Amino acid sequence: MQNNAEQTTHFGFETVPEAEKAKKVQGVFTSVASKYDVMNDVMSLGVHRIWKEAMMDWLAPRPSQKLLDVAGGTGDISFKFLKRAGSGHATVLDITENMLIEGRKRAEANQVLDSLNWVVGDAMALPFADNSFDVYTISFGIRNVTRPQEALNEAFRVLRPGGRLMVLEFSQIPVPLAQKAYDFYSFNVIPRMGKLIANDRDSYQYLIESIRKFPNQETFLSMVRQAGFENANYRNLSLGISALHSGWKI
């Protein structure tokens, strides 16, 4: 007998049909695109910059490498990668065109015009051939993907043998009291900041809720390994508020 039940997923704490999530996520990031970078600084008190530098430290970009930065938004990771590598190429892919438009406006974009592409695309169905990139990064984006495992599978497909996966994402603090304090700040302060700075409380309410629905460090590590990556590991940042996951296509 055919099962006609519609598959569902989470959109923050809301349960929605899988087919609707991508459009809802696009709506969130279309709404906040013009204030996204400012809000990142305000929400994290600038700490997100330290996390991204830690990502680059572990990644250790090398000259002439080819990067795919998925959910790359306004290009933060790609700019840092190209600066560290000295030479190479980066492709910023995002499902929300408005985020890419904002990225193109940044001064850094004009400095690396010949080394940077901006592509609208879906992390679960990348518009690239197998074995196309040396490095795949996704920073604070995989929790917004409808089926994160499929995104990891696609990452493995487009990486060349010897290629590196690096995921930076909010995670869970293993100290209950610290997690409770962080939850209080997140749910009580960040949506209000979103209303004040971006005139959008609901989008930032969703972003906070989406963090709580994302798998913990060990569970996500198992997903990285399931996609085929070897030598997979993770590092907690700021007690586990965020975490870096790394894996290699051997």
The DSSP bridge pattern shows strands 159-170 and 242-248 to be: antiparallel
In this predicted structure, the answer to whether residue 11 has a pLDDT above a threshold of 50 is: yes
Total domain count, the chain: 1
Domain membership flag for residue 69 = yes
**With contact defined as beta carbons under 8 Å apart, do 162 and 93 qualify?**
no
Residue 4: is its pLDDT beyond 80? no
Mean pLDDT of 197-220: 94
Tell me the C-alpha distance between 82 and 30, whole Å. Answer: 26
Neighbours of 106 (CB within 10 A): 14
Which amino acid is located at 90 in the chain?
A
Question: What distance in Å separates the CA atoms of residue 178 and residue 184, rounded to the nearest whole number?
Answer: 10
Residue 91's domain spans which residues? 22-174+204-248
The answer to whether position 215 is within a domain reads: yes
HSE (side-chain half, CA atoms, 13 Å) at 187: 12
Say if residue 191's pLDDT is above 70: yes
Inside any domain, residue 5: no
Q: Is 6 within a domain? A: no
| The pLDDT value given to residue 5 | 56
C-alpha to C-alpha distance for 59 and 167, rounded to whole angstroms: 10
| Per-residue pLDDT band at 3 (split at 50, 70, 90) | very low
Residue 223 lies in a domain: yes
CATH code of the domain containing 220: 3.40.50.150
Question: How confident is residue 2, by pLDDT bands cut at 50, 70 and 90?
Answer: very low
Q: Are 75 and 108 in contact (CB under 8 A)?
A: yes
DSSP annotation string for 149-217: HHHHHHHHHHEEEEEEEEEEEE---SSHHHHHHHHHHHHHHHHHHHHHHHS-HHHHHHHHHHHHHS--H
Is there a domain that residue 227 lies in? Answer: yes
Q: Mind listing the pLDDT tens digit for each residue in 53-98?
A: 999 999 999 999 999 999 999 999 999 999 999 999 999 999 999 9
Domain contains 93: yes
Residue 135 lies in a domain: yes
